[in-house]
Amino acid sequence: MLLLAAVCSLAGCASAPAPQAPQETTKFTVENTDRFAVLDSATEAVVSCTGLQERTLGDGRLEVVANLKNGGGKPVQVQVQCEFLDGEGMPVSAEVPWQLLAISASSTEVVRFTAPSTAAKKYAIRVRRAR
């Protein structure tokens, strides 16, 4: 009788887990999330960064590639800026231009930035609604 009870209790453990719905994840680590900021709530509701990659070019300058996703059902136009910083966190150039970027509904666009000098060690990417 004891053997039958043990077999019955273990039989429930052999069942396969229920399938889980896929979750949206970001492809960058927690330490990279502070490098991306959305500056207005309307843009924050639909635009997210799904990936940040950085590399050093042959001439020693930093290059950053950001994948920006429009999670909304309508196309959006945003302005994107990448401010390059030195090792102490100070800007390496006085003026940082904004780039206009159109992102189709439910799609991802890639934006590439190159530092103006080899002094850049860090960066901050900002996104806002197009003006």
pLDDT-derived band of residue 124, with 50, 70 and 90 as boundaries? very high
Q: How many Å apart are CA 76 and CA 85, to the nearest integer?
A: 28
Instruction: State the first-to-last Cα distance of the chain, in angstroms, to the nearest integer.
Output: 77
pLDDT at 95 (0 to 100)? 86
If one counts every other C-beta atom within 10 angstroms of the C-beta of residue 76, the result is 20
Structural domain spans, the chain? 28-129
Residue 3 confidence (pLDDT) above 70: no
Element (H, E) at 98: none
pLDDT at 25 (0 to 100)? 43
- Of the two residues 67 and 28, the one the predictor is more confident about is 67
If one counts every other C-beta atom within 10 angstroms of the C-beta of residue 9, the result is 9
Which tens digit of pLDDT belongs to each residue from 88-109?
999 998 888 999 999 999 999 9
Q: List the helix and strand counts (H, then E) for the chain.
A: 2, 7
What would the mean pLDDT of 57-67 be, rounded to a whole number? 96
Predicted TM-score (pTM) of this structure: 0.72
pLDDT at 42 (0 to 100)? 93
Calculate the CA dihedral of residues 31, 34, 53, 104 and round it to 10 degrees.
140
**So what CATH class is 28-129?**
mainly beta
Q: How many Å apart are CA 78 and CA 109, to the nearest integer?
A: 11
Angle at the Cα of 79 from the Cα atoms of 49 and 116, rounded to 5 degrees: 85
